[in-house]
Structure 1
Amino acid sequence: MNLQETEQFLTQFQQETGLSHEWYENRLTEIKNANTYIPTTEELVFGARVAWRNSNRCIGRLFWQSLQVFDERHLEMEEDIFEALLRHIDFATNDGKIRPAITVFKENEVRIWNYQLIRYAGYETEDGIVGDSSSIKFTEICQQLGWKGEGTHFDVLPLVIQINDQQPKFFDIPKSHVLEVSIRHPQIESFSELNLKWYGVPIVSNMKFSCGGIEYLAAPFNGWYMGTEIGARNFADADRYNMLPKVAELMGLDTKTNISLWKDRALVELNLAVLHSFKEDGVSIVDHHTAAQQFKLFEQQEEESKRQVTGNWTWLIPPVSPATTHIFHKPIANIIKKPNYFYQKEPF
């Protein structure tokens, strides 16, 4: 426990929720007498939502108050934690009408080794990389634990859960829990020949949740995708699925010269295909222009609440046509506030 952070958090909780100063004094006395801080579920819910509000890299913070918080700090067995993660996946997925959620597990004891709860494996083969190249190291870890994938471009990795210093355990996610979208283009019929697909819900699981001086090493959370995350990064990055050359070939573009802007044209159509496919399948997604407009509303709400808007500009600008958004032209202070979510050292 960091008493200074606990006091600061409880002050914020008291002021923003309208509680009395007497409540604050009594709560602080209770914590000092116990020499430990165990947030109530109400405090945890508030902290998780404010942590989203404070997330400088997130453009989707307009909806911070809608975050559903699942308090699973009582769970101590890997099997029970796995079941809680499946419940999170199902709640968030919601037949495609995605709901923002976070599940918080016991502080300093539980770790989830996955980068995201749902993520594709990556394999190094004699014929090159199969699947997601960013997952190669973790895929090898899963194989060492006994997991066997099918060797396709889109094998869903198992969930790897560790309690304290015990040997981690892996659990396969039943396919019925994983919503995936096949990617096709509204005009280019041959696009479907690329056989691309992506999972519907991005549930980040490798970050720690810091709240009131307490750190929760396992607190997976999700919103919904902004299209460019899939179309301009996961599919397009040269060190990921590297699909731009194949899309350009489908379009008949001249890839021998940069002046044809073949990368730009292929990138736009790839992003259009992602948005079209998600929308047609009824799976929540937002385009980067709408997301920027939503962020502007968030800025206005924060200013009305007399809170400084903070952000990491390099993350807030979208990777496609950033200059068409107001964020590109506006300086923003990258000040870190707590509660918040932070990267932590990989456990493997």
Structure 2
Amino acid sequence: MFHVAHSEAGSVSARIAQVRAEVADTGTYRHTTNELAYGARIALRDSGWCTSGVPWRRLKVRDLRGYRNAAAVAGECVEHLRLATNEGEIRPLVTVFAPDTPGTPGPCIWNEQLIRYAGYSDGMGDPRYAQFTDTMQGMGWVPPDDRSRFDYLPLVVETAHEGARLFTMPREVVHEVPLEHPDIPEFAELGLRWHSTPVISNMRLTIGGINYPAAPFNSWFVGAEIGARSLADEGAYGAAREVAEALGLDTSSERTLWRDLATVHLNRAVLHSFDKAQVTITDHHAEALHRLAWLRSRQKPSPARPAFRLDPVAAQRARTGGPARFAPGAVEETRPHGRLAELMRLHSLAAEASA
């Protein structure tokens, strides 16, 4: 794919021969910087997470494949958030850390996104992450003395040689938008807010058979992700009722459609507030048209294509705080997949034939 798109890259057959020789010697191979950037851009374009307006061909890819230690990975995650936030003019980025190799697995990030809010046993905060919050406290994280509905969870980076380590997300690097309504001044008194930059951090980037278990990436928010999914939903903050009460809506019966009206006002407040704060955001109507166009044009799924993949265990880890990836008897494996596995199989067959 890379050579088809970049005729100046030279002979593809020569590159494949080089890759096969490297696989034969080491059990894996290393992407060139240009191959890595191209694969990451294609993976984001085809992932469904690439929101409308993202210039995927110019997407900045940070090549940090030399980073394996937890503290270094955490520090660069903070830098990714700072660069991506860009004072509100959200900049789409992908940061790629060390890959899995036959002898040395790469680091992984437990968190679903770099910024997630804690959920406490008394109901305060985001209940979606209540179990994760409990696990973090069991691992030594101490919540703020003055707990709130929007306390940042620690970043958890796990490596094979260090285990899982917790890192505090610096408050100064997190850009949050306080929510207000364009027509209802009392709305601001609810104290609702949300962080500006959605950096997805627990998906595995796979390119040409190489797995990068830590490759955080971001585009920008769709307003309804915040208003409807995170704030209004009863399984999340459940703020629809307090918004309805603040608006004086009749909540005595679902048939009054108070929940629908409250959700619309929440979505409107999100878009208005992000626009007022000059933070990049898109609305769900524009995004629906973009997603339909994406669905019509997307390639058929194939294990050989670059992709961001969410493993079931990684999804569980992001909500419950476990299991550890490198615990004894862990179910995850770091063996090659897809095209790399096929290259190794063909090399093995060739070796047997020559013998």
TM-score, normalization: structure 1?
A: 0.82
Instruction: Name the counterpart of 1:318.
Output: none
Instruction: Name the counterpart of 2:331.
Output: none
Instruction: Name the counterpart of 1:94.
Output: 86
Shift of 1:167: 2.2
Return the alpha-carbon distance in structure 2 between the equivalents of residues 49 and 100 of structure 1: 10
Instruction: Name the counterpart of 1:13.
Output: 2
Shift of 1:291: 2.3
Structure 2 residue 30 is matched with structure 1 residue 33: no
Return the alpha-carbon distance in structure 2 between the equivalents of residues 116 and 184 of structure 1: 24
Structure 2 residue 115 is matched with structure 1 residue 118: yes
Instruction: Name the counterpart of 1:132.
Output: 126
Instruction: Name the counterpart of 1:326.
Output: none
Q: Secondary structure in 1 aligned to 2:120?
A: strand
Instruction: Name the counterpart of 2:298.
Output: 309
The superposition leaves residues 307-331 of structure 1 with CA deviations (integer Å, 9 ceiling, x where unpaired) of: x425xxxxxxxxxxxxxxxxxxxxx
The superposition leaves residues 206-231 of structure 1 with CA deviations (integer Å, 9 ceiling, x where unpaired) of: 11011111111111110000000000
Higher mean displacement: 280-289 or 56-65:
56-65
Instruction: Name the counterpart of 1:71.
Output: 63
The superposition leaves residues 126-172 of structure 1 with CA deviations (integer Å, 9 ceiling, x where unpaired) of: xxx11111111221222122111122110011111111253211111
Instruction: Name the counterpart of 2:143.
Output: 149
Shift of 1:338: 2.0
Change (3 A) 1:210 1:334: closer
Instruction: Name the counterpart of 1:342.
Output: 309
The superposition leaves residues 248-268 of structure 1 with CA deviations (integer Å, 9 ceiling, x where unpaired) of: 111111112233221111111
Instruction: Name the counterpart of 2:76.
Output: 84
Query: Structure 2 matches for 1:220-239, cutoff 5 A?
Result: 220-239=216-235
Change (3 A) 1:336 1:196: farther
Greater fraction of residues in strand: 1
C-alpha contact 1:56 1:336 (8 A) present in aligned 2: no
Return the alpha-carbon distance in structure 2 between the equivalents of residues 264 and 159 of structure 1: 35
| Structure 2 residue identity aligned to 1:193 | E
Return the alpha-carbon distance in structure 2 between the equivalents of residues 268 and 131 of structure 1: 22
| Structure 2 residue identity aligned to 1:123 | Y
C-alpha contact 2:69 2:107 (8 A) present in aligned 1: no
Return the alpha-carbon distance in structure 2 between the equivalents of residues 336 and 238 of structure 1: 36
The superposition leaves residues 223-282 of structure 1 with CA deviations (integer Å, 9 ceiling, x where unpaired) of: 000000000100011110001111111111111223322111111111000011111011
Q: Number of matched residues?
A: 304
Q: Secondary structure in 1 aligned to 2:183?
A: coil
Change (3 A) 1:337 1:57: farther
Structure 2 residue 54 is matched with structure 1 residue 44: no
Shift of 1:292: 3.2
| Structure 2 residue identity aligned to 1:121 | A
Return the alpha-carbon distance in structure 2 between the equivalents of residues 54 and 189 of structure 1: 41
| Structure 1 residue identity aligned to 2:109 | I
Return the alpha-carbon distance in structure 2 between the equivalents of residues 76 and 253 of structure 1: 53
Q: Secondary structure in 1 aligned to 2:66?
A: coil
Shift of 1:112: 0.7
Change (3 A) 1:334 1:210: closer
Q: Which runs of 5+ in 1 are unaligned?
A: 1-11, 311-332
Q: Which runs of 5+ in 2 are unaligned?
A: 101-105, 323-355
Instruction: Name the counterpart of 1:248.
Output: 244
Shift of 1:191: 0.7
Q: Secondary structure in 2 aligned to 1:25?
A: helix
Higher mean displacement: 197-206 or 69-78:
69-78
TM-score, normalization: structure 2?
A: 0.80
The superposition leaves residues 74-114 of structure 1 with CA deviations (integer Å, 9 ceiling, x where unpaired) of: 01222211221111011100000000001111113201111
Q: Secondary structure in 2 aligned to 1:215?
A: strand
Shift of 1:62: 5.3
